[in-house]
A and B are shown apart, each in its own frame.
Chain A
């Protein structure tokens, strides 16, 4: 025990000494980033934002695209260890099978930060993880609707994500939590739109037919913006005005939902920020500066955007990011 304490004290002192050397932040640090691949627009945006943030902070980012394969990620991490990088960021493609390679990183004293997805296994294998709280995203969307409709009766139709996927389960749960206790709000129909535009449109068409041509529907809640964009088209095809006849609230904050907001066709979206690297760099910097272990789970902000938040500006800011 005594040895460990002495070591810890030593490490702390070393950290203090080092902190003076790193007064300019992460300048000159070499950080490896093993990305899953380009599975979605959001993922592409996460990659470009990470590169942007790294450039702003003077980090030399080594980027490796795993093309959705864990073995590629493991190879990339081993490569980073061999190159002797200062830290490693990983967006793990699956939750299991990381013990061996992360132990290697630990033995090489390279801190690992997980981005946007967790892993199974001992928590001491990584420094921290940065992710969004999907339940909270749903809750923020629900709270917006509760605040917007006030005392009016509101029948909601829900476009769920892929059946069984964690964002679909959690975003549903959060939204239901938010509207629970408000008897005037109820979800009257809920179906999966598989997170895609075309299915979102098709499902919304069905809902509109089944609910008196849309007369009974007050709002649509979509688990992602793409389905909302599809639903908006279906509402227009049915001769109604999305955004006023039927309120549209969704999650993700991709550029196209902002152009819908500019046109007055979408009412609110909750951001799933692609900037997971910013908090990760902050945690690394704090760790190197003070030696303090950051929290194991860093939760990113789930910010609400409405047409009052300069949708045109948000669109312009995001459209180059790769969504």
Chain B
């Protein structure tokens, strides 16, 4: 009887990418795409890059792109991790609505704002945990498991607000949505902080490697001694947390929780941002900063359309055309073509 042999020698391909030098950063398709979109915006509206200082904060279209892109960027941070585990979270838009509704309803009923914010974030964590439980313990496929909350969650949010747009004048909540710090809008500061924290915690520890391992092959990861279930619970909870943060921002921005519209369809933008960022829906290798960059590309496009003066019937057509170009740029075929260019990374 022969025993199966296990080859423990290193494979020829490294299991995860080595850190690349900064120079190659600028030849990445995402960076080129962002530059191209910004350039087109500048052609359409010459004042696009002008940033002025007004009322103690930066003011300009470029700041708008960062500010408006922040909610999707924050969603994309959580979504990247979920997608890296070969999952997907369709419920983040609905969780945004729940979080905003929770915070708004609590402050309008006289609860202090810090508690309301904590409750909203806690609700987001719980929603994420619920998704994680469906995916790990009940082994429901992620797309279906999170679809449950995507549909039911908006109903929950409507129950919380009783169908009203709950408006508030609480300074803390409004500050989260529209305040500024060091001249930048709060949403941008929050998104940047979350991005740096998340990136450090996955790249400076083994967490990122473990997430990729689960994404590539969950059974293999489990047999290798990884607590895949616990890891998935953490990842989905984090996605829920990110969605709750986004929900607070969106509610603070309009000084009200709109359960019908807050975060509507943003899960799709978040998934798109992750995919534009180069993370495969098949799981494995992922990059959080690139997903954030993807969110910025989407927003730069949206802002560009708004200031271009096209009639709104063209919005979706223009957007999809640009997205197709970006995805083609990232395809293996064009990657091969890119490598032939002089100066491109070999």
Q: Tell me the A residues contacting B by CB distance below 8 Å.
A: 38-41, 44, 160, 163-164, 189-192, 194, 196-198, 201-203, 205-207, 209-210, 226, 229-230, 233, 237-239, 256, 322-323
- Kindly provide the distance from the CB of A145 to the nearest chain B CB, expressed in whole angstroms: 21
Q: Across the A-B interface, give the 6 residue pairs with the lowest CB-CB distance, nearest first.
A: A206-B306, A192-B312, A197-B254, A210-B307, A196-B261, A38-B163
Task: Provide the bound-state CA to CA distance between A39 and B61, in Å.
Answer: 34
- Give min CB distance, A188 to chain B, whole Å: 8
In the bound complex, what is the Cα–Cα distance between A238 and B178 (angstroms)?
12
Interface residues of B in 232-268 (CB under 8 A from A): 250, 253-256, 258, 260-262
> Nearest chain-B residue to A319 (Cβ)?
B164
Q: What are 19 inter-chain pairs, A to B, with CB distance below 8 A?
A: A41-B163, A41-B165, A164-B313, A189-B309, A191-B306, A191-B312, A196-B261, A197-B258, A201-B253, A202-B64, A205-B64, A206-B64, A206-B306, A209-B64, A210-B61, A239-B54, A322-B162, A322-B163, A323-B164
Determine the distance from Cα of A160 to Cα of B253 in the docked complex, in whole angstroms: 20
Cα–Cα, bound, A226→B54 (Å): 27
Contacts of B163 in A (CB 8 A): 38, 41, 44, 322
B11 interface residue (CB < 8 Å to A): no
* Chain B positions within 8 Å of A202 at CB level: 64, 68, 302, 306
- Give residues 151-172 of B contacting A (CB, 8 Å): 158, 162-165, 167
Question: Hey, which chain A residues are within 8 Å of B167, CB to CB?
Answer: 256
Measured in the bound complex, the distance between the Cα atoms of B253 and A238 in whole Å is 14
Q: Give chain B interface residues in 49-92, CB to chain A under 8 Å.
A: 54-55, 59-61, 64, 68
How many Å from the CB of A238 to the closest CB on chain B?
8
Q: State whether A38 touches B315 (Cβ < 8 A).
A: no
Q: Number of contacts between A and B (CB, 8 Å)?
A: 81
Q: B312, A207: Cβ atoms under 8 Å?
A: no
B112 CB–A CB distance under 8 Å = no
Which residue of the partner chain B has the closest CB to A323? B164
* Interface contact A210-B45, CB-CB below 8 Å: yes
Q: Please report the C-alpha to C-alpha distance between residue A210 and residue B47 in the assembled complex, in whole angstroms.
A: 8
> Is residue B303 contacting chain A, with contact meaning CB distance below 8 A?
yes
Q: Is the CB of A256 within 8 A of B165?
A: yes
In the complex, the answer to whether A192 meets B315 with C-beta atoms within 8 Å is yes
Chain B 297-320 against A: per-residue CB contact (8 Å), 1 yes, 0 no?
000001100110101110100000
Q: A44-B164, A163-B312, A190-B311 are in contact. Are A230 and B306 (CB under 8 A)?
A: no
Closest Cβ of chain A to B273, distance in Å, is 17
- Minimum CB distance partner of A39 in chain B: B260
Which residues of the other chain, A, contact B162 by a CB distance below 8 angstroms? 322
Known pairs A163-B315, A207-B307. 19 more at Cβ < 8 A? A40-B260, A44-B164, A163-B312, A190-B311, A191-B306, A196-B258, A197-B165, A197-B254, A197-B256, A197-B258, A198-B258, A198-B261, A201-B253, A206-B61, A206-B64, A206-B303, A210-B47, A226-B165, A226-B258
Judge whether A239 and B165 touch: CB under 8 Å.
no
B259 to chain A, nearest CB (A): 10
**Which chain B residues border A323 with CB–CB below 8 Å?**
164-165
A207 vs B167: C-alpha distance when bound (angstroms): 25
Assembly CA distance A203 to B307 (angstroms) = 8
A236 to chain B, nearest CB (A): 10
Which residue on chain A has the smallest CB distance to residue B311? A190
**Which B residues fall within an 8 A CB radius of A?**
45, 47, 54-55, 59-61, 64, 68, 158, 162-165, 167, 178, 250, 253-256, 258, 260-262, 302-303, 306-307, 309, 311-313, 315
Task: Specify which chain B residues have a CB less than 8 angstroms from the CB of A237 in the assembled complex.
Answer: 178
CA of A33 to CA of B258 in the docked complex: distance in angstroms? Answer: 27
Report B-chain residues with C-beta under 8 Å of the C-beta of A189.
309
**A194 to chain B: which residues have CB within 8 Å?**
261
What is the chain B residue whose CB lies nearest that of A199? B261
Closest to B64 in A: A205
Distance A39 CA – B164 CA, assembled complex (angstroms): 10
Q: Is the CB of B254 within 8 A of A160?
A: no
Q: Given A189-B309, A191-B306, A233-B255, does the pair A209, B164 have CB atoms closer than 8 Å?
A: no
Residues of A within 8 A of B309 (CB): 189, 210
In whole Å, how far is A202's beta carbon from the nearest beta carbon of chain B?
6
Name which residue of chain A comes closest to B185, CB basis. A237
Distance in angstroms from A201 CB to nearest chain B CB is 6
- Report the Cα distance A190→B255, complex, angstroms: 25
Give CA–CA (A22, B255) in the complex, Å: 50
B158, B256, B260, B306: the one contacting A207 at CB < 8 Å is: B306
Contact check, B254 vs A322: say whether CB atoms are below 8 A apart: no
Which has the most chain B C-beta neighbours within 10 Å: A194, A198, A203? A198
In the assembled complex, the Cα of A190 lies from the Cα of B313 at a distance in Å of 11
A194 CA / B261 CA spacing, docked (Å): 9
In contact, B313 and A163 (Cβ under 8 angstroms): yes
In the complex, which residues of chain B have a beta carbon less than 8 angstroms from the beta carbon of A209?
45, 47, 60-61, 64, 307
- Measured between beta carbons, the chain A residues less than 8 angstroms from B315 are 163, 192
Return chain B residues, CB-CB under 8 Å to A201. Answer: 253-254
- In the docked arrangement, what's the CA distance between A189 and B305, Å? 12
Determine whether the beta carbon of A233 is less than 8 Å from that of B165: no
CB-defined contacts of B254 to chain A, threshold 8 Å: 197-198, 201, 229-230, 233
